[in-house]
Amino acid sequence: MTDTTQDTTHFGFRTVAKEEKATMVAEVFHSVAAKYDIMNDLMSMGIHRVWKRFTIDCSGVRRGQRVLDLGGGTGDLTAKFSRMVGDSGQVILADINNSMLKVGRSKLRDSGIVGNVGYVQANAEELPFPDNYFDCITISFCLRNVTDKEQALRSMYRVLKPGGRLLVLEFSKPILEPLSKIYDAYSFHLLPKIGEIIAHDSESYRYLAESIRMHPDQETLKGMMDDAGFDQTTYYNLTGGIVALHRGYKF
């Protein structure tokens, strides 16, 4: 009997062929790109800005450094990092989804952010950058959509400089049972309805809710980062563990 488990992965709660997932995820984000920012504010009641601010504060990014905002979408973190690294630094906004990248580029350029930001369409599993290139990599609300997370983490490790750090901001597992029940009710009942009203797309937001549940919990992701070579890995639970920020270093 042929073992097919190595050829399949999850797309939300569905099992799909690995080679199909990237295309299916792309369709989701093509659909939601135009309404992505307003949906973020509505879905999180604006708290996503606090989570991202905490990520920035934990980054240790300084003037003149090179930063990769991976899966950076509409560029919230890129905008902050651009100011932090200054004219002598560089920020790369990378995303596998061209629709999201276009929205991010237009948004940043409209804000006057042009000189030290570059844009690259890239797959996290095969980053098109030299070894030991970046001082810091952030991946925000993106890792759960990657087909081979272990390969992506190894790819990020490769392009980090010695002394560099990776920050993974992602939905995680609530640490309080009552909060978990409330969160489930919100995710599976209210969130698709908001998606239908605002983005005219309930199915994409149903997938996003399911993808959160299929993402590794805090300790599992920490172990994956350790296995990829990162040192001093740790995580911070935010909003009761609804979101976690993982951080690891390359030495």
Q: Is 95 annotated as a binding residue?
A: yes
Q: What is the mean pLDDT of residues 208-219?
A: 90
Domain ranges in the chain? 11-175+207-249
How many residues belong to the chain? 251
Average pLDDT value over all residues in the chain? 90
Q: Is 202 annotated as a binding residue?
A: no
Domain 11-175+207-249 is classified in which CATH homologous superfamily? Vaccinia Virus protein VP39 (3.40.50.150)
Q: What is the mean pLDDT of residues 166-180?
A: 93
Q: Using pLDDT thresholds of 50, 70 and 90, give the confidence band for residue 39.
A: low
Cα separation of 124 and 107, whole Å? Answer: 22
Query: How open is the CA angle 42-78-159, to the nearest 5 degrees?
Result: 125
Query: Over pLDDT 90: what percentage of the chain?
Result: 63
Q: Is 140 annotated as a binding residue?
A: yes
Q: Is 74 annotated as a binding residue?
A: yes
Q: Is 106 annotated as a binding residue?
A: no
Q: What is the mean pLDDT of residues 17-38?
A: 76
Q: Mind listing the pLDDT tens digit for each residue in 115-137?
A: 999 999 999 999 999 999 999 99
- Are the C-beta atoms of 48 and 232 separated by less than 8 Å? no
